[in-house]
């Protein structure tokens, strides 16, 4: 989408507000509802189905109305001048109006959804928190050459055989310490350090688009880890309007599977009972619209529900200190065991 088209869409919103004022009517903004899976039509990625009204004459919404207009004006100037700002920059330029960084983050996504424009096209950036390593060398838009390989051999393009998404930074660092990328070379490992930021998701998407190699997910055998994996594969409800540009439906669940806990006889003292919050999260996941297309995932989640236990990836150290990197992952990647 061209910059001029984005500016036109912003101008049309402002025109509606001015028109309302000229008629002595209170301006209203209609934002797509991004808070419920019931509102998402997963296989129709173009639009959310219902809206939330933000009124300028209502005490409970007037502040948000003002915040949206302020950020719209910032975005307009950024696009018009072809410059960029982070969401953090926007917040610190007017902390009194926004109150919190979270408010800015949410409104930027609301505007992106309202304008039907990917957030990166609004010239508003987020600070990356993800890490990547392995057989990959690429060039940033500004010409900066990035080498993700820790060895001295540099490849112009990746010859990796697979990409592995890792939930936690600690597990990512453990794999680096154990020279995982060298032992199972060529491969790429990436982590979003928990719930992934948009840039980490974009990187996984770009790797799939460019390389078309298997993409595996290594997450804790708990509802939180499963949800993180689902964000990479299917997207989040809050950003379902951008699912087509952020998700990789081919992502496969490598581990830690609930069935692995039984198969490997992980010691009971390494397992953790599900909390009420975990059980609620698990029920919510099982009701997601996309799960009907993943019977094997559903089976694993119901097994967790039945056994009422969860486990972190680190629980495998209860079998042997190097079990994860020396046995579990090599065997799974060579002989199968993903779903």
Asked if 136 contacts 188 with a C-beta cutoff of 8 angstroms, the reply is: yes
Q: What percentage of the chain's residues is helix, strand, coil (to nearest 5)?
A: 55, 15, 35
By annotation, the residues acting in catalysis are 92
Q: How far apart are CA 108 and CA 75, in angstroms?
A: 9
Longest dimension (CA), the chain: 74
* Cα atoms in the 13 Å half-sphere on the side-chain side of 48: 27
- DSSP label at 267? -
Q: Mention every residue, 6+ apart, whose C-beta is less than 8 A from residue 179.
A: none
Sign, CA dihedral 118-205-327-299, equals positive
| Rounded-to-integer distance, Cα 201 and Cα 313, Å | 21
Q: How far apart are CA 220 and CA 274, in angstroms?
A: 13
Contact 34, 110 (CB under 8 A): yes
Secondary structure (DSSP) of 175-222: HHHTTHHHHT-S-EEEE-SSSPPHHHHHHHHHHHHHH---EEEE--BS
Q: Residue 161 pairs with which residues in a beta bridge?
A: none
């Amino acid at each position: 989408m061209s910059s001029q088209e984005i500016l036109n869409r912003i101008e049309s919103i402002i025109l509606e507000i001015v028109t309302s004022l000229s008629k002595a009517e209170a301006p209203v903004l209609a934002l797509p509802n991004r808070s419920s899976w019931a509102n998402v039509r997963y296989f129709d990625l173009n639009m959310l189905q219902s809206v939330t009204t933000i009124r300028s004459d209502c005490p409970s919404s007037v502040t948000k109305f003002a915040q949206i207009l302020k950020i719209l004006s910032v975005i307009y100037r950024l696009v018009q001048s072809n410059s960029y700002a982070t969401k953090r920059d926007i917040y610190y330029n007017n902390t009194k109006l926004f109150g919190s960084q979270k408010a800015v983050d949410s409104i930027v996504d609301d505007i992106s959804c309202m304008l039907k424009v990917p957030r990166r096209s609004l010239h508003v950036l987020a600070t990356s928190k993800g890490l990547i390593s392995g057989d990959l060398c690429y060039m940033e838009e500004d010409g900066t050459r990035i080498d993700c390989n820790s060895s001295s051999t540099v490849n112009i393009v990746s010859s990796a055989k697979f990409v592995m998404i890792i939930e936690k930074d600690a597990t990512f660092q453990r794999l680096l310490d154990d020279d995982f990328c060298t032992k199972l070379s060529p491969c790429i490992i990436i982590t979003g350090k928990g719930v992934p930021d948009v840039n980490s998701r974009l990187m996984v998407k770009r790797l799939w688009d460019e390389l078309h190699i298997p993409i595996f997910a290594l997450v804790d055998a708990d509802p939180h880890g499963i949800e993180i994996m689902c964000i990479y594969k299917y997207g989040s409800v809050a950003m379902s309007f951008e699912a087509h540009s952020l998700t990789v439906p081919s992502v496969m669940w490598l581990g830690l599977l609930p069935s692995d806990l039984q198969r490997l006889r992980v010691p009971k003292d390494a397992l953790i009972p599900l909390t009420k919050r975990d059980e609620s999260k698990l029920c919510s996941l099982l009701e997601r619209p996309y799960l009907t297309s993943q019977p094997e995932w559903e089976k694993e989640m119901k097994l967790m529900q039945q056994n009422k236990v969860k486990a972190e990836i680190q629980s495998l150290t209860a079998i042997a200190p190097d079990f994860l990197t020396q046995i579990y992952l090599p065997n799974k990647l060579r002989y199968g065991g993903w779903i």
